[in-house]
Amino acid sequence: ETGVTQSPTHLIKTRGQQVTLRCSSQSGHNTVSWYQQALGQGPQFIFQYYREEENGRGNFPPRFSGLQFPNYSSELNVNALELDDSALYLCASSLSGRAFHEQYFGPGTRLTVT
């Protein structure tokens, strides 16, 4: 059973640029959630995708957008990067969006905006 993977591991971008982060869900999982974790803080929910549709969204501006593909992998896109977007971005997959299904997290992508 393959776990959740994310790419890239690290990247550095300049303010105003756009970035795409990728997540491959665990085998058999159809739901992917994205979280932003600023340094020294707990993760904050960005949004969730269930069967290719956005299933819920946290308090993030529209320049944070996502996609889920037929194989249930997912992308997080951030436009017009700001310095405060520097963070660890985590994705988590689960069997469904239901609370009793455990979310399995990937190792994260560390984004630095300069």
Partner 1 sequence: AQTVTQSQPEMSVQEAETVTLSCTYDTSESDYYLFWYKQPPSRQMILVIRQEAYKQQNATENRFSVNFQKAAKSFSLKISDSQLGDAAMYFCAYRRGNDYKLSFGAGTTVTVRA
Q: What residues line the site for partner 1 (CB under 8 A)?
A: 33, 35, 40-45, 48, 50, 55-56, 58, 88, 90, 92, 97-100, 102-103, 105-108, 110
Residue 52: Cβ within 10 Å count: 13
Whole-number Cα distances in Å, 41 to 44, 63, 94: 9, 22, 23
State the distance between the two ends of the chain, measured CA to CA, in whole angstroms.
38
Nearer to partner 1, 10 or 15 (CB): 10
Give least dist CB 83 to partner 1, A: 21
65/105 with CB nearer partner 1: 105
Least CB distance to partner 1 at residue 16 (A) = 27
The strand pairing partners of 33, in sequence order, are 48, 92
The one-letter amino acid code at 103 reads Q
Least distance to partner 1, CB of residue 48, Å: 4
Q: The tokens of 46 are what?
A: 């960005």
Our CB check for partner 1 shows the closer of 25 and 103 to be 103
